[in-house]
Amino acid sequence: MPLPVSSVISCTARRWAGVALLGAPLLAGADDNYLREIEDEAKHQALVLTTSQPAPSPFQEPSAPPAPPVAGAGAAPERLAPGLDRAAFEKALSDGLPKERYASFQRLGNADQQKIYQIYQKDNSIASISEQIARLASGKP
- The answer to pTM > 0.85 is no
3-state secondary structure of 81: coil
56-60, 68-72, 78-82: lowest mean pLDDT where? 68-72
Q: What is the pLDDT of residue 85?
A: 92
Q: 21-68 pLDDT, tens per residue?
A: 665 555 555 567 777 878 888 777 776 666 655 555 555 555 554 444
DSSP H helical segments within the chain, as ranges? 5-28, 32-52, 86-96, 99-107, 110-122, 126-137
Are residues 122 and 94 in contact, defined by beta-carbon separation less than 8 angstroms?
A: no
Q: What is the pLDDT of residue 33?
A: 77
3-state secondary structure of 111: helix
* Average pLDDT along the chain: 73
Rg (CA), the chain: 25
Give me the percent of the chain exceeding a pLDDT of 90: 11
- In Å, what is the CA distance from 22 to each residue of 16, 26, 72? 10, 8, 51
Are residues 137 and 41 in contact, defined by beta-carbon separation less than 8 angstroms?
A: no
Q: 83-136 pLDDT, tens per residue?
A: 899 999 989 888 888 888 888 889 999 999 999 999 999 988 888 888 898 888
Position 71 pLDDT exceeds 50:
no
Are residues 89 and 120 in contact, defined by beta-carbon separation less than 8 angstroms?
A: yes
* Confidence bin at 73 (pLDDT 50/70/90): very low
